[in-house]
Copies of this chain bind each other. A is one copy, B any other.
Amino acid sequence: MSSAVTSIPSPTGASAVHELMLGIGRAAVGAAEVLALASTDSKNRALNAAASALRAQAGTILADNAADMRDAQAAGAGAPLLDRLKLDARRIEAIARGLEEVAALPDPIGSVMASWERPNGLQIARVRVPLGVIGIIYESRPNVTADAGALCLKSGNAAILRAGSESRRSSAAIHACLVQGLQAAGLPATAVQLVPTSDRAAVGEMLAGMREFIDVLVPRGGKSLVARVQAEARVPVIGHLEGNCHVYVDRDAELAMARRIVLNAKMRRTGICGAAETLLIDRACIGTHLGPLIADLLAAGCEVRGDLESQASDVRVRPASESDWSTEYLDAIIAVRVLDGVDEAIAHIARYGSAHTDAIVTANQATAERFLARVDSAIVLHNASTQFADGGEFGMGAEIGISTDRFHARGPVGVEQLTSYNYRVRGAGQIRP
């Protein structure tokens, strides 16, 4: 985070931040009570009005973003951070459209997930309700301000947003548009709050000091941020740790399909969590399949690091080391390993994978079903690219991330996954014998 901020705040600073965060927490709980009962129409009106405000104030947002960019450059930020931070007219339009898309999603709140009648005549319904107050801690991408705020609002949750200090002006400008939307719809302005300080003590408060106010934390950012939140949080976390995704090309894979899927899984976009990082290939088909697969990747500009057999198949393959099997490159690099059949592939994925997204290419149904049943990842695919790991591609609308946890939500986290439920029981005077 910002080097301008003292990493060990003075007692006075910490106490001031504590008071600030208590006030934010109380306001969020109050807003959550209103949001839980807010109509679908009012939530959608707030989202659409916020989209209009974003378009109307694009000039201000771009000026604030330019100031953030100047500071980040002066602080020596690298190109990837600057790219994540930068806004332009196209990105602002995409953010506005994202708000409208969330407005267009079905409202999960109040929907009956299941209902049944007991022999004694009790009618039981399990109904979706909001989680309450969601804290989101993120880094340099200012669009998270709008995306996360919108998903929380649609799912009836109050949001406390803690943006990275690099994007503080940009996030504040976007947040102002969300507040305008809330006010236009008659909803509490505190339904989506942005923590107004870059003091790191605010993060500490969210992690451990606000159990009374925050129901769930969502870290959005790099591995170190997510790991810190998972390690230190005293409230439940929806965490997305990393995607070390595999494509396994089986002996019964059709070559043309395998080539198409491997190339897409690795190279369509290399920086997303669903990008493939390791190619596993069945020894039984390396004579026909390995050469073309490696040639495609190299031709597309991908560095290939392989075991001895992969190196033997193409001189341009560099040697892979043990650490390559565990690495999420998020770059145009792939590790290649030859092994014997689906069970070895399953074992490799269990040992080195991150339980995010893994795929098999095979024309053999039994082999495919074995892989689908035994690979314990959030998403397991047969004959499809790992790049489909995305809430939108799953038909769930926008997502706040892809959970690699097993508790509560797993895989894409959309508005439904930001809900809880309760039981509503209708009787006619029944008592328990």
Report which A residues bind B (CB closer than 8 A): 33, 36-37, 110, 116, 118, 122, 124, 129, 131-132, 215-216, 231, 234, 236, 254, 257, 260-261, 263-265, 268, 350, 368, 372-374, 376-385, 387-388, 393-395, 405-408, 410-411, 420-432
Question: Is the pair B379, A422 in contact by a Cβ cutoff of 8 Å?
Answer: yes
Residue on B nearest A268 in the bound complex, by CB: B432
Q: With A268-B431, A393-B432, A407-B420 as known contacts, state yes or no: A425 contacts B385, CB within 8 Å.
A: no
Selected contact of A378 from candidates B36, B122, B377, B423, CB within 8 Å? B423
A242 to chain B, nearest CB (A): 16
Interface centre among A124, A260, A407, A408 (most CB of B within 10 A): A407
Question: Is the pair A385, B430 in contact by a Cβ cutoff of 8 Å?
Answer: yes
Selected contact of A388 from candidates B372, B379, B424, B430, CB within 8 Å? B430
- CB-CB under 8 A from A407, the residues of chain B are 131, 215-216, 236, 407-408, 420
Q: With A257-B429, A383-B427, A407-B215 as known contacts, state yes or no: A388 contacts B122, CB within 8 Å.
A: yes
- CB-CB under 8 A from A373, the residues of chain B are 37, 110
Question: Is the pair A260, B431 in contact by a Cβ cutoff of 8 Å?
Answer: yes
Question: Is the pair A384, B424 in contact by a Cβ cutoff of 8 Å?
Answer: no
- CB-CB under 8 A from A395, the residues of chain B are 116, 118, 124
Known A260-B429, A380-B422, A384-B425; further 8 A-B contacts with Cβ < 8 A: A36-B376, A37-B374, A122-B393, A131-B407, A385-B431, A388-B430, A394-B423, A407-B408
- CB-CB under 8 A from A231, the residues of chain B are 234
Interface centre among A129, A373, A421, A423 (most CB of B within 10 A): A423
Residue on B nearest A374 in the bound complex, by CB: B37
- CB-CB under 8 A from A124, the residues of chain B are 394-395
Selected contact of A215 from candidates B254, B406, B425, CB within 8 Å? B406
Residue on B nearest A236 in the bound complex, by CB: B407
Residue on B nearest A126 in the bound complex, by CB: B411
Rounded to whole angstroms, the CA-CA distance of A2 and B205 in the bound complex is 36
Question: Is the pair A423, B406 in contact by a Cβ cutoff of 8 Å?
Answer: no
Residue on B nearest A379 in the bound complex, by CB: B423
5 tightest A-B contacts by CB? Answer: A384-B427, A264-B431, A406-B420, A387-B432, A408-B408
**What are 20 contact pairs spanning A and B, CB under 8 A?**
A37-B373, A116-B395, A118-B394, A118-B395, A122-B384, A124-B395, A129-B376, A129-B406, A131-B407, A215-B407, A216-B407, A236-B236, A265-B431, A372-B424, A372-B426, A377-B422, A382-B425, A383-B426, A384-B430, A384-B431
